[in-house]
Amino acid sequence: MNKRNKVKHLNREKGHRDALINNMITSLFKYERIESTQAKLKVVRSHAEKIITRAKRNLATDIAPAVALHNKREVLKRIKDRNIVTKLFEDIAVRYASTNGGYTRILKMINRASDNSEVGILELTNRKDRPTLIKEIKDKREAISDSKKEKAAAPAPAKKEKAPKKEAAPKAKAAKKPAAPKKAVKKAAPKKKK
């Protein structure tokens, strides 16, 4: 019987399963489309939709800063890449502001030839096309490299000069003491048997 067992194990231990799901969610938000087996996609879909709903909570105008920070930290438990979290809160959540649920869809493909497993595509319903995504990624990289160049070109702040170290007075060489003679250790005589 499988009563009250809601977790799909995916033939993995808990740590491995969590890492797999987190990585797939990160890839989904980065590329807005991933391909995998149907079983994995169904599990990832439920987690991804909950994360998008959490990100949409920050769109409210009257939200307290502490609550907004809490929402980001909860998402950071699943997605470790801060750039993806920024994209989620500033871009993806805004796209789905007027939508209640149904942020993703699973498209079925032909079964995989090697093991005949059911394969599919999980994608965001309001996703950007590939050339637009690639252009955005290139622009971000250029902006980061430009800011690094500006930092490198800017003069470094003056460092405080350290006081010169005090020189220690030369020590007089102590005369070597002759080593003490080793004491002879007496061996105990073997006991006689009675």
Which tokens belong to 29?
Answer: 């938000």
Position 8 in a domain: no
Give per-residue pLDDT as tens, 31-70: 999 999 999 999 999 999 999 999 999 999 999 999 999 9
Position 96 in a domain: yes
Position 46 in a domain: yes
CATH number at residue 88: 3.90.1030.10
Please tell me the predicted confidence (pLDDT) of residue 128: 85
Mean pLDDT of 106-130: 94
Angle between helices 14-31 and 38-56 (to 10 degrees): 70
* pTM: predicted TM-score of the whole model, two decimal places: 0.72
Number of separate domains in the chain: 1
Position 180 in a domain: no
Domain range for 89 is 14-148
**164 burial level (CB within 10 Å; 0-12, 13-18, 19+):** exposed
**35 burial level (CB within 10 Å; 0-12, 13-18, 19+):** middle
Judge whether residue 147 has pLDDT over 70: yes
The confidence band for 133, taking pLDDT boundaries of 50, 70 and 90, is confident
